[in-house]
Structure 1
Amino acid sequence: MLSPEMTVGELIDLLSQCDRSSPVRQAMNPFFPMAHRLAQVVQAVDRGGQTVVYLAEGRDEATQLGLLPPEVAVALAWQGDTESPPSRPRRSAGGK
């Protein structure tokens, strides 16, 4: 049976395919997708005695970078691939 959690080895395998000079960010909250900077990697033992590695965001205001790019939210299956509605001319304040 496969574990529902990604292991450090699987993360390393995935990261080894990436550009080593790229910044690492964390995508959070599928219902309001935001991007965050990672600041720390902490290894600890959980209540069950299993070693767990945590990737943590920073504590300063600049940690949250804003909305996740739509293509990332689509790739994560957090939202569907949508297009902006076509633009229409705006009506003036007088209704004309």
Structure 2
Amino acid sequence: MSSAEMTVQDLIDLLSACERDAPVRQALNPFFPMEHRLAQVIQAMDATGKTVVYLAEGGNEHSQLGALPPEIAVKLAWQSPVQPPPRRARRTARGGQ
């Protein structure tokens, strides 16, 4: 990317490496990661008169799909990989002694 903001060309370049029939989703909120379906692409002018493209989720209750899979949050560096706790030796029951 050439600037701090991703451009439409940057997005096209990144998407060109993806499977063309795959659904597109947004990953939102690094502190409570959720995934959403994309429904619209809107081009508009911002307050400075610069053209901006917005990717929007759908407007119905099925647009938010739920929690983002943990492995995606890790790849986005929104979460650290979680390691299972170390296993401890099991205690044995000592009946009647």
Whether these two folds match at TM > 0.5 is yes
User: What are the ranges of 5 or more consecutive residues in structure 1 without an aligned counterpart?
Assistant: 90-96
Q: Report percent identity of matched pairs.
A: 67
Q: Deviations over 1:30-81 (max 9, x none)?
A: 0000000000000001011110000000111010000001111001100001
Matched, 1:58 2:82: no
- Residue 75 of structure 1 pairs with residue 75 of structure 2: yes
SS at match of 1:6: coil
CA–CA distance in 2 between the matches of 1:51 and 1:79?
A: 33
| Mapped partners of 1:32, 1:22: distance in 2 | 24
Runs of 5+ consecutive residues of structure 2 not aligned to the other structure: 91-97
What does 1:32-43 align with in structure 2 at a 5 Å threshold? 32-43=32-43
CA distance in 2, matches of 1:47, 1:18: 33
- Higher Rg of the two aligned structures: 2
Letter in 2 for 1:67: A
**Cross-structure match for 2:3:** 3
Q: Output the TM-score relative to the length of structure 1.
A: 0.85
Moved over 6 A (4+): none
